[in-house]
Each structure stands twice: as structure tokens, then as C-alpha cells.
């Protein structure tokens, strides 16, 4: 952490009082979407807007709109936003899909010149405590598309990335599957893996293709049987040219609008959960202020 500047207590009180004001003094408009979600559109400068769409109780996604670009562009935040809920994660399940679709369609309708919204697929699950398993290669193997491609119609923004993803999906359907020697560099045995090298080899030789192998391992042993080799094998297949956390995915206007109805209802007052979100934001700002204003010796590193 960088060193924090010293400041007197009066400056600290002035900063804290500013944090209690309406966040950024920004103008906001509020909506209800289909009786299921609430939305807020916030000004964040002359050329920047933020759309926040949340559930009645918890969870949210944000879209930051850059009006300075021609045409304007949006950036979808789907991995972490501490203002949205206590854990900073999107709720799982069907509600997540509906919220994403509602947020995207609402944003495009609010900004008619907006052509596309961009994001990076950093999705993962925890199969073994302490490890993150990137699940995009698994989805490509099982379904031929990533989760975001299937549920919100996203596409890689770079045509080269799109070709590489499609090539891996086709590779997983090819029969017969690759020889074990092709998997071996990625499938070195790990002590806590539920499937060892011998069983993996046996299953591969018996499978009609890689998709069947992945499906069988997940069915019988869960994702812990895939986490130690499937992402590595995907990286080897793509020759290191694809790194999912850095790929730009895009959702186009027509696709988003077709996925959710136009049922946004303006609200005269902000929804009840907006006050909680605003309070959480003020608290987070205050914590940052305390770190900035604390004497250097007291700042943890």
C-alpha cells in the first residue's frame, strides 16, 4: 500500500462530512423494471453515466457508459462491485441471468446511441478450497460456448479470439479424442485430485471425444477432477494466445434488446434498497479517507 499523507484532525472531519453527502452530488433517476428489479441512472461527469440494476433484496450489476466515445460505449461490471451487496458477488441461478439481461436492455434503451457493451469473462468457481477454477474452457468443452455467450449473446470482440474459441469447441467434439500424450503435459497428477493419471488415461481412451470425457468426469467427480488439467490444456491448445481474463467480450444492441422487454417504470423516489447501497458507498469512501489521512506509521502494509 502506498504511503498515506499526514493530515490534521480538522481536515479529517471535513472529509468525513463530505462523505455523508449525496455521493458525488450526482443527479440520479430511478426506475422499476418488471416489478423484479430496480435501476438507477447516475451522472458521473459531463461525459460519463453509471447504470445500476439490482434485485429487490440483494445483488446488482453496473454498466458504466462513456459518452465521450463515438459511438458511446458501455462497460459491464459483472465480477465485483462492493456497493451492490455485502459479499461483492452476483447471486447465482436464474435470477442472475434475468438481472443481466434486464440491465443490458435497460441501458441500451436509456442511451439510444450506445452500440455495444463490453466486459471481460473472469468467471470461476471454487472446487478445492483455496483454488480458483476458471470455468470458461469447461463451458466451451461441454456446450461449445462460454456461459456469457449462451445466456446474454456475448461474442469476442476480436475475430481472432472468436476463431480460437470455436476451434477449441470443435476440437472437443472431434472423434477420436486426442491421444493421452497430448493431455499429459497438462494433466500431471496432483496429490488431492480425485482422478489420477491412470484413470484419466483410461477414460480418455474409452471416450468418443473430449466433450464426453469432460462430462463424465464432472458427473462422477465434480469440477475438482477438471480444475488441474482442463484450463491448462485449453491454454496449450490455444498456444498461449488466449487468456480469458483479458479477452474483450461484446454484447450488441440488437441482441440485448431482443432478450428483455421494455417494461421500465420511472419512480418519483429512489427504491428502498438505494439508500442501503448509498450508505454502503459512503462507508467505503470513509474507510478510504481514513487510510489516506492516517499517519504513515499506522498504515498496514
Residue 78 has pLDDT above 90, yes or no: no
Q: How many CB atoms lie within 10 A of CB 7?
A: 15
Q: Distance between CA atoms of 61 and 84, rounded to whole angstroms?
A: 8
Higher confidence at residue 124 or residue 17? 124
- For 96, 151, 246, 254, 283, the CA distances from 301, given in Å and listed in that order, are 36, 41, 28, 48, 21
Q: Which candidate, 73, 57, 66, 60, places its Cα nearest to that of 102?
A: 60
Higher confidence at residue 84 or residue 286? 286
Q: Which candidate, 207, 211, 208, 247, places its Cα nearest to that of 230?
A: 211
What pTM value is reported for the model? 0.76
pLDDT in tens, 261-288: 999 999 887 766 555 555 655 555 554 4
3-state secondary structure of 120: coil
Q: Distance between CA atoms of 238 and 229, rounded to whole angstroms?
A: 14
Q: Distance between CA atoms of 27 and 151, rounded to whole angstroms?
A: 32
Which range of 19-28, 231-240, 252-261 scores highest in mean pLDDT? It is 252-261
Strand partners, 38: 32, 54
Q: Which candidate, 259, 248, 251, 252, places its Cα nearest to that of 121?
A: 248
pLDDT in tens, 23-49: 444 588 999 998 788 898 999 888 999
Amino acid at each position: 500500500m502506498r504511503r498515506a499523507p499526514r493530515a490534521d484532525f480538522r481536515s479529517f472531519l471535513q472529509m468525513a462530512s463530505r462523505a455523508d453527502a449525496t455521493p458525488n452530488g450526482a443527479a440520479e433517476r430511478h426506475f422499476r423494471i418488471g416489478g423484479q428489479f430496480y435501476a438507477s441512472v447516475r451522472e458521473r461527469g459531463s461525459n460519463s453515466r453509471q447504470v445500476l440494476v439490482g434485485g429487490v433484496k440483494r445483488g446488482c450489476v453496473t454498466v458504466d457508459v462513456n459518452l465521450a466515445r463515438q459511438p458511446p460505449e458501455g462497460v459491464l461490471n459483472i465480477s465485483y462491485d462492493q456497493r451492490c451487496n455485502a459479499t461483492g458477488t452476483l447471486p447465482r441461478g436464474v435470477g442472475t441471468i434475468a438481472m443481466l439481461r434486464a440491465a443490458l436492455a435497460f441501458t441500451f434503451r436509456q442511451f439510444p446511441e450506445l452500440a455495444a457493451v463490453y466486459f471481460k469473462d473472469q468467471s470461476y468457481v471454487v472446487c478445492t478450497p483455496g483454488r480458483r477454477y476458471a470455468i470458461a474452457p469447461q463451458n466451451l468443452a461441454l456446450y461449445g460456448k462460454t456461459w456469457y455467450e449462451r445466456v446474454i449473446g456475448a461474442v469476442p470482440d476480436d475475430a481472432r479470439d472468436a476463431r480460437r474459441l470455436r476451434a477449441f469447441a470443435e476440437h472437443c467434439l472431434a472423434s477420436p479424442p486426442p491421444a493421452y500424450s497430448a493431455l499429459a503435459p497438462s494433466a500431471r497428477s496432483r496429490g488431492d485430485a480425485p482422478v489420477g493419471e491412470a484413470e484419466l488415461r483410461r477414460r480418455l481412451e474409452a471416450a468418443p471425444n473430449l466433450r464426453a470425457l469432460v462430462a463424465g468426469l464432472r458427473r462422477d467427480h465434480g469440477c475438482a477432477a477438471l480444475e488441474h488439467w482442463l484450463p491448462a490444456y485449453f491454454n496449450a491448445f490455444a498456444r498461449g494466445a488466449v487468456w480469458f481474463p483479458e479477452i474483450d467480450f461484446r454484447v450488441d444492441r440488437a441482441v440485448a434488446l431482443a432478450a428483455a422487454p421494455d417494461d421500465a417504470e420511472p419512480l418519483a423516489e429512489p427504491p428502498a434498497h438505494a439508500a442501503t447501497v448509498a450508505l454502503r458507498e459512503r462507508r467505503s469512501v470513509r474507510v478510504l479517507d481514513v487510510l489516506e489521512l492516517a499517519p504513515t506509521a499506522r498504515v498496514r502494509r
